[in-house]
Chain A
Amino acid sequence: MKIKYLPHTADIRMKIEGSSFKEILAAGVLGMANILKDGACNSKGIMNLKVEVAIEAADKTCLMIDLLSDVLSHSYTSKGIFCEIYFNELSDNNAIAVVQGYRTNGFDEEIKAVTYHEAQVVMNKDNRWETIIIFDI
């Protein structure tokens, strides 16, 4: 998977790429964790925080954004960083998954929201899935 942070006047623009839809969803979770706390998932510590997320959405793009929004909400309510995602079910418009991470004393950045603006989950010319995600900061 590839995660790149691109310029945006006020917010954070992230580009993610993966060999499968599952892989860019995982890239989204990891990329968001790195915004919340830089390098938060670099060392494999004790991942003792687990939350189940279940999403139904109109399409792949909405599924991606809605899933990240739910993970973000859980980050705030459980005061934790989620680094990994494991899927029990995944289709174009449905996901049941467990996100795993650890509790933290604080974040480097407060993300207000994961937005749909510019998000478009598509297959690129190299047959890899990609999308842009804008985070409201």
Chain B
Amino acid sequence: MKIRKEDIIRIEDFLWEIPQAFNSRMRVPARVLASEELLEAIMEDRSLVQLVNVASLPGIQMASLVMPDVHEGYGFPIGGVAATEFPGGVISPGGIGYDINCGVRLLTSSQKISNIKDKLEMLSQELNKEIPSGMGKGGTIHLEPEDLDEVLRKGAAWAVEQGYGELEDLAYTESNGCLEEADPALVSDMAKKRGADQLGTIGSGNHFVEVDYIEEIFDQDAAKALGLSDGQVVILIHTGSRGLGHQVATDYIREIMKTMPGYGIQVPDRELACVPFNSEVGKDYFKAMCASANYAWCNRQIVSWEARTAWKNIFGKEAALKLMYDVAHNIAKVESHRVNGSLIKVIVHRKGATRAFGPGFEELPEKYKFVGQPVIIPGSMGTCSYVMVGTDKSSELTFGSCCHGAGRRLSRTAAKKLVNAPVLKQKLREKGIYVEAGSFKGIAEEAPIAYKDVNQVVGTVCASGVAKKVAKLRPVAVIKG
């Protein structure tokens, strides 16, 4: 399948459509949220072919969608949203991804960057010491099977009960850090074995802990509500459900591929394997996915505790880091959205996309209700990141979703060929950014050149109206696996 520019029509300034008529398998159109320049870059890999394939899923509603940070994935594109009819439409583990509830959270401090510049190197070393990272590495917490089941049931609340955080943290976490449908009995022994020693670890790849400061405020009222101010030092954490989530996805994709033909479903790519949400295996997967999502929220809560420990070690016992918000960007949720004028329940698959609900959303903490749900967009190492808030328009256009990062543009191999990691590390140091990484390979693969321009990506989602910029963050220390 080849998609040419002539196959795509502009339906709004920043919204493009591949009509349903483009391919006989499509049940709905495929839509791209992007500027023209970004659209042309997106056309360079197989993202749009994958988007068209997603439009063929049984029960899909309105359109398959991608955000401006989209890039080619394996089956579903990364940076995509697909909402299917509830409860008879399909659920597809590939539409969530292997790293279930990969997400980001932002911790805020009372320190200004100008006051702590001389302590940044020490802080980055302390964070690196306190937060286990790296390939397949375990953490310091080793869970007994009954404790792991409690983590899978309770999510971030388990960590708070054990002293790894404050009760208030839960109110500032998407879904309060727990999906109640979770059932630990539906998570395999292998997945539990992989998860037993990985709580409080960030892993590798594009996962990180980063110290930033607020470089620019775009919306003073929203920033004030979110507790953000000019020059303030903040900490960004990006990680997910680690080996446990990877194994749950692997187990259920295998199972679903076996049972899918029994429902008469055929998909153009095996990684789109899916079953009706209300089938036995569909329900089992959803409950196991919820358990994995809970593990991820618990993981980010414990990583926060490790970051808080490092912070106190440098700035004293009274120094605190508050949780601004925690958002998932690989997850499926049952939500209500307006489709063709009617409010209906749908199963929203977000794979590399962030929930971006507007003001008034009842789950939000009281202080945030008038500004909308915080959306945290990490950029690439050495560039910048953003805090935004969702809008009502996101519900109309994108099932309440927006982008999740800058989006890769170069393969890891290409990045390694182009980037001299020791030189990059030194250059970042000269720009005032300390990098603590497990390997030079990791630095090269995650170099800024490997990513799209986050300013352009964020500019596009804001211009389209699905989110509003609140603050721009500039990194000063990066801890990578």
**A and B: interacting chains:** yes
Q: Which chain A residue lies CB-closest to B254?
A: A66
Out of B72, B98, B193, B413, name the residue touching A5 (CB < 8 Å): B413
**A113 and B72 in contact, given A76-B194, A106-B136, A108-B135 (Cβ under 8 angstroms):** no
Stretch at the interface among B355-363, B381-389, B403-411: B403-411
Total count of chain A residues near the partner, CB < 8 A? 34
Q: Are B411 and A106 in contact (CB under 8 A)?
A: no
Q: How far is the CB of B378 from chain A (nearest CB, A)?
A: 15
Whether a CB of chain A sits under 8 angstroms from the CB of B258 is: yes
**Residues of chain A lying within 8 A (CB to CB) of residue B137:** 106
Whether a CB of chain B sits under 8 angstroms from the CB of A69 is: yes
Interface residues of A in 95-137 (CB under 8 A from B): 106-110, 112-119, 134, 136-137
Stretch at the interface among B73-81, B288-296, B332-340: B73-81
Q: Are B73 and A77 in contact (CB under 8 A)?
A: no
* Complexed CA–CA distance, A36 and B439 (Å): 14
Interface residues of B in 240-286 (CB under 8 A from A): 243, 246-247, 249-250, 253-254, 257-258, 269-271, 273
Q: Are A106 and B412 in contact (CB under 8 A)?
A: no
Q: Are A113 and B412 in contact (CB under 8 A)?
A: no
Interface residues of A in 12-38 (CB under 8 A from B): 12, 36
Q: Are A107 and B136 in contact (CB under 8 A)?
A: yes
Whether a CB of chain B sits under 8 angstroms from the CB of A46 is: no
Q: Are A7 and B411 in contact (CB under 8 A)?
A: yes
Q: How far is the CB of A71 from chain B (nearest CB, A)?
A: 12
* Complexed CA–CA distance, A107 and B204 (Å): 10
Residue of A62, A66, A112, A119 most packed against chain B (CB within 10 A): A112
**A109 and B135 in contact, given A9-B411, A10-B408 (Cβ under 8 angstroms):** yes
Q: How far is the CB of B452 from chain A (nearest CB, A)?
A: 11
Residue of A5, A36, A110 most packed against chain B (CB within 10 A): A110
Q: Are A113 and B249 in contact (CB under 8 A)?
A: yes
Whether a CB of chain B sits under 8 angstroms from the CB of A91 is: no
* Complexed CA–CA distance, A137 and B441 (Å): 14
Q: Are B73 and A10 in contact (CB under 8 A)?
A: yes
* Complexed CA–CA distance, A69 and B270 (Å): 15
Q: Are B194 and A116 in contact (CB under 8 A)?
A: no
Out of B134, B247, B270, name the residue touching A73 (CB < 8 Å): B247
Q: Are B258 and A58 in contact (CB under 8 A)?
A: yes
Q: How far is the CB of A17 from chain B (nearest CB, A)?
A: 19
**A9 and B408 in contact, given A106-B136, A110-B135, A137-B205 (Cβ under 8 angstroms):** yes
* Complexed CA–CA distance, A12 and B73 (Å): 10
Out of A8, A77, A117, name the residue touching B411 (CB < 8 Å): A8
Whether a CB of chain B sits under 8 angstroms from the CB of A11 is: yes
**Residues of chain B lying within 8 A (CB to CB) of residue A106:** 134-137
Q: How far is the CB of B444 from chain A (nearest CB, A)?
A: 12
B interface footprint on A44-79 (CB within 8 Å = 1, 0 otherwise): 000000000000001001100010010001011101
Q: Which chain B residue lies CB-closest to A77?
A: B193
Out of A5, A36, A79, A119, name the residue touching B270 (CB < 8 Å): A119
**Residues of chain B lying within 8 A (CB to CB) of residue A61:** 270
**Residues of chain B lying within 8 A (CB to CB) of residue A8:** 72, 411
Out of B72, B136, B412, name the residue touching A137 (CB < 8 Å): B412
* Complexed CA–CA distance, A108 and B254 (Å): 27
Whether a CB of chain A sits under 8 angstroms from the CB of B350 is: no
Q: Which 10 A-B pairs have the closest CB atoms?
A: A117-B74, A116-B270, A107-B135, A115-B74, A113-B98, A117-B271, A112-B98, A110-B204, A110-B135, A7-B411
B residues adjacent to A (C-beta < 8 A):
45, 71-75, 78, 97-99, 134-137, 190, 193-194, 203-205, 243, 246-247, 249-250, 253-254, 257-258, 269-271, 273, 408-414, 439, 441, 481
| 20 A-B interface contacts by CB (under 8 A) | A8-B72, A8-B411, A9-B411, A11-B73, A11-B74, A12-B412, A36-B135, A61-B270, A62-B254, A66-B254, A69-B254, A73-B190, A79-B136, A106-B137, A108-B441, A110-B205, A112-B205, A113-B250, A116-B253, A137-B412
A residues adjacent to B (C-beta < 8 A):
5, 7-12, 36, 58, 61-62, 66, 69, 73, 75-77, 79, 106-110, 112-119, 134, 136-137
